[in-house]
Amino acid sequence: MSKKKIVSIEDRIPKLKQERKKKANRRLIFYLSIFFVLISIVVYLQSSLSNVHHVEVSGNNYISDQDITKLSQISTEDNYWSVNKETAKENVASHEEIKEVTISKKFPTTIIIQVKELNRVGYVEQDGSYFSLLENGVLLTSKPLKTINGDAPLLTGFDKETYLQELIKELEQLPTSIVNLISEIKWSPTEGNPYQILMYMNDGFEVEGSIRNFSKTMKSYPSIVAQLSPDSEGVIHIGVGAYFESYDNEIIDEEGSTQGENQDETEG
């Protein structure tokens, strides 16, 4: 029969004291770590390290980064964590050329402002200066231009707001690829058709059409032009049908067939 080893209480006390000391040291290190982390956070929040270092602006073509940043009222003196995104969004959205705004934060010190501007549907000439016309019908009279950018057609002769606003709606629905082909749109109403317009194209052709259903009828323009030789001169009529009428009265319809001088110009 084996004998059990007996450890006296005197031998155990030093080991118990050592274990208690280790636990106390670990606890002290844990609390000190938390303390220093909290101190570091407080110092970080109170220092310039937590300020906004960068404001990134994207989606803008006509309004400068500086103007949008200024409008947001966000600066490098602002604390990154205290920036109110909703307030900044409302500030930027108040600009008459801004359609949509999104503001987000990118850790650790960057604010991102994404905007969508209102489209330019045309330019209007007044007293020797040009003014941008936005998709919502607003004319930017506060920003006169010496020349137009060529990104939208020049709109002339529209002395009645009703017809101009209808044209704006049609231009917004027309594919950009076709809008880019138009150099100028002139309102040329007749007694029988107050919606009549005359367009001068960048490829040299003239187009006669109507504001009504303009976004649909103008889509046939590329197919008409594809059937014409580069040196053709005349007017492309786009309405119920579409056809080209040369200055010597030769007519080519949308199907590509050629008809004589006695063709009734209202057909097609």
Q: Could you tell me what percentage of the chain is helix, strand and coil, using 3-state DSSP and rounding each to the nearest 5?
A: 35, 30, 40
Q: Cβ(73)–Cβ(89) under 8 Å?
A: no
Q: What span, in angstroms and rounded, lies between the C-alpha atoms of 108 and 45?
A: 12
Q: Cβ(74)–Cβ(82) under 8 Å?
A: no
What is the model's pLDDT at position 105? 95
What is the model's pLDDT at position 12? 60
Average pLDDT of the chain is: 86
pLDDT in tens, 16-36: 677 777 788 888 888 888 888
Lowest-confidence region among 34-43, 50-59, 147-156, 221-230: 34-43
What is the model's pLDDT at position 263? 40
Q: Cβ(66)–Cβ(89) under 8 Å?
A: no
pLDDT in tens, 56-109: 999 999 999 999 999 999 999 999 999 999 999 999 999 999 999 999 999 999
pLDDT at 268 over 50: no
pTM for the full predicted model: 0.74
pLDDT at 256 over 60: no
Q: Cβ(214)–Cβ(184) under 8 Å?
A: no
Q: Cβ(102)–Cβ(84) under 8 Å?
A: no
pLDDT at 265 over 50: no
pLDDT in tens, 137-174: 999 999 999 999 889 999 999 989 999 999 999 999 99
| Region 231-243 average pLDDT | 84
What is the model's pLDDT at position 56? 97
Q: Cβ(140)–Cβ(149) under 8 Å?
A: no
